[in-house]
Structure 1
């Protein structure tokens, strides 16, 4: 299919939340740490459900955590 077009600000948001670890985020979102690693590297696009769960962890709207294409607004 080509390059993953869904990007995210997860790494930045984790550090803005008191340097939350990947494991802490994974536990709060109900996934493995490896899933968070893959998301941050851009190797994995989350399901819609997971995207909403991660946004809820940060108490942010979905669009503040994830973006589509080459338009990373933060």
Structure 2
């Protein structure tokens, strides 16, 4: 069984004033996928996690601590 590591997605999404639907629209990730990731019921790929961090303008490792050792392939703002 895959271990799901807790994340801070809800905190940063709400801090940005976004609903799940807003974040889904901005990232192209389904709202249901974001819901399950936010509830720590599903893991997420580095690529999708990085997309979320980019849209929220928050360092990846702040939202998803499990990716602290990886570098973003996307340009920073």
Could you tell me the TM-score, scaled by structure 1's length? 0.79
- Secondary structure of the residue that 2:6 maps to in structure 1? strand
> Unaligned stretches of 5+ in structure 1?
69-74
2:65 maps to which residue?
67
Detail structure 1 runs of 4+ shifted over 6 Å in the superposition.
none
Q: CA deviation at 1:38?
A: 0.3
* RMSD (Å) for aligned C-alpha atoms: 1.3
Matched, 1:9 2:2: no
The answer to whether 1:50 aligns with 2:62 is: no
**How far, CA to CA, are the matches of 2:2 and 2:32 in structure 1?**
22
Unaligned 5+ residue runs, structure 2? 67-77
> 1:43 Cα shift?
1.0
Q: TM-score, normalised by structure 2?
A: 0.77
More strand by share: 1
Deviation at 1:15, TM superposition (A): 1.3
